[in-house]
Structure 1
Amino acid sequence: MGKLSHFDEAGRSRMVDITAKDETKRVAIAQAKVRVSPKTMELIKGQEIEKGDVLEVARVAGIMGVKRTADLIPMCHPLLISGVDLKFNLIEEEAIIEILAVTKIAGKTGVEMEALTAVSVAGLTIYDMCKAVDKGIEIGDIKLLKKTGGKNGVYVDQDLIGEVVAFCSSLEKGTAKEQIAEANFKENYGLERDAHAGDWHRQISLLAIEDIDYMREQGLDLKLGAFGENIVTKGLKLTELPLGRKLKLGEEVILEVTQIGKECHNRCNIYHQVGDCIMPKRGIFAKVIQGGTVKAGAKLEVLLND
């Protein structure tokens, strides 16, 4: 790690001199998560909060926060911001509002602090808009997810990077799948020669090896694919991904998350064979946006559409 640049040789605080630095295109993406009560989530969705449209007010507040970052953070440079975008993803099962802010500039210093200020102010605004009905709202998980530009290049938060442990397929639904060394994905169809492929929203199923290992610790002798999953992942918190979030497998395959968990109406063969099925609670589903061929062990990355 380098030395802290906001102190000079004598230990005095300073604003870093960026006069000689080159101007480059810089982008920063930050996140915050706001946890509300289920009732508050329904009120926000239905725009039933008396103060107005909560998310639109929070969006404007976040943009205004970007413009005032240098007034709030002592050593930040006043910047000529070229673009700001705030998005809100409602994770209804967890009653969480995910805030994403994208800030852009063509300049000599980065816009990370502006993106972090945007999500922080937007989160505080959600609290202010809803505090009359929910004083227990929590604001957390504020962090930088990605930055590009400048001499240090690209930074990506490790929570966005995972790995494909295995691919699995079967010719019949409701049965355990068998591992395959290589998977061929077809756009808007799914995994070639798999029973779940087709023109619908659950073309691909994903389950984390961490959840499978938990079931193994309960004394179950499980092979990968035992729960009917097409892709076994490692390192990603699948159930925290919002609907619409995209995943990149290897160099070319792109999936879009379409469903988190599922309702199990009937006990399938998997349940009777294993004694439980974690797919309804811990699995997610996706459709293929861009096809291609991928081998097990490939990199798995969460895309933020920046």
Structure 2
Amino acid sequence: MTTSAFAPAHIVSVAASPTHGFSKQPVPSVHLLAGVGVQDDAHAGHTVKHRSRVAADPTQPNLRQVHLIHAELLDELNAAGFGLQPGDLGENVLTRGVDLLALPIGTRLHLGAEAVIKVTGLRNPCSQIENFRPGLLAAVLGRDEDGNLIRKAGIMGVVAVGGEIRQGDSVQIELPPLPHRALERV
């Protein structure tokens, strides 16, 4: 699929994995389950599924049901020589044409015909990303002009409305009411 600066926002790839691991396998489509996440994905559930969070408190609500990354990040990382493919960074949804990192908390992303994901925060990249490709952790972190940490490894969300999504589906953005709150790590 070709895109231009004027192409509408869309899904480039979807991925899932039934086991805990760093990368996820791209698939033709995924089914999102309201309040749960990606069907048959290791991180789906009402309560936390990420191992470190389960160890801390397994009763915490799962604010990381779906991981989204913007394809523009892969473009940037591949230009730097990382050789990444969809699913490599563990994302469930790879988008193009949406500045995911600039969205406020509570934004609703309408994916395809019926699914809706409510944005909860930023992915906090950990040492697994460095183990996957040396130098990658530094490449997905940065500093703004005030020295504040910038996390570029995508965003997390919960499924507000379930449905099937696939490559090529549209992405529509519904901003929350003002005042907007900037994304923080979840």
Asked if TM exceeds 0.5, the reply is: yes
* Alignment partner, residue 187 of structure 1: 34
Partner SS for 2:68: strand
* 2:75 paired with 1:228: no
Contact 1:243 1:260 in 2 (8 A): no
Partner SS for 2:78: helix
Post-superposition offset of 1:296: 1.0
> Which of these residues, 92, 98, 101, is aligned with residue 239 of structure 1?
101
Contact 1:207 1:231 in 2 (8 A): yes
Q: Which amino acid aligns with 1:288?
A: V
Give, in whole Å, the separation in 1 of the partners of 2:89 and 2:172: 23
Contact 1:247 1:256 in 2 (8 A): yes
Q: How does 1:273-292 map to 2 (within 5 A)?
A: 273-275=132-134, 276-277=136-137, 278=140, 280-292=151-163
Post-superposition offset of 1:305: 5.8
* 2:14 paired with 1:167: yes
Post-superposition offset of 1:233: 0.4
User: What RMSD in Å do the two structures reach over aligned CA positions?
Assistant: 2.1
Give, in whole Å, the separation in 2 of the partners of 1:304 and 1:281: 20
Give, in whole Å, the separation in 2 of the partners of 1:209 and 1:192: 23
> Which of these residues, 296, 301, 304, is aligned with residue 167 of structure 2?
296
Post-superposition offset of 1:174: 3.9
* Alignment partner, residue 27 of structure 1: none
Contact 2:106 2:176 in 1 (8 A): no
Give, in whole Å, the separation in 1 of the partners of 2:88 and 2:130: 10
Post-superposition offset of 1:255: 0.5
User: How high is the TM-score relative to the length of structure 1?
Assistant: 0.45
* Alignment partner, residue 182 of structure 2: none
Does the C-alpha gap of structure 1 residues 291 and 215 become closer, same or farther in structure 2, counting only changes over 3 Å? same
Post-superposition offset of 1:189: 0.3
Q: How does 1:22-37 map to 2 (within 5 A)?
A: none
Post-superposition offset of 1:173: 3.0
Post-superposition offset of 1:261: 3.0
Q: Deviations over 1:63-119 (max 9, x none)?
A: xxxxxxxxxxxxxxxxxxxxxxxxxxxxxxxxxxxxxxxxxxxxxxxxxxxxxxxxx
Q: How does 1:192-231 map to 2 (within 5 A)?
A: 192-199=39-46, 200-231=62-93
Partner SS for 2:130: helix
Contact 1:205 1:229 in 2 (8 A): yes
Give, in whole Å, the separation in 2 of the partners of 1:225 and 1:274: 14
* Alignment partner, residue 253 of structure 1: 115
Give, in whole Å, the separation in 1 of the partners of 2:161 and 2:117: 7
Q: Which amino acid aligns with 2:45?
A: G
Q: Which amino acid aligns with 1:254?
A: V
Post-superposition offset of 1:246: 0.5
Larger radius of gyration: 1
User: How high is the TM-score relative to the length of structure 2?
Assistant: 0.72
Post-superposition offset of 1:271: 2.3
Partner SS for 1:282: coil
Give, in whole Å, the separation in 1 of the partners of 2:78 and 2:125: 23
Post-superposition offset of 1:295: 1.7
Post-superposition offset of 1:263: 5.5
Contact 1:239 1:284 in 2 (8 A): yes
Query: Which structure 1 residue ranges, 5 or more long, are not aligned?
Result: 1-157
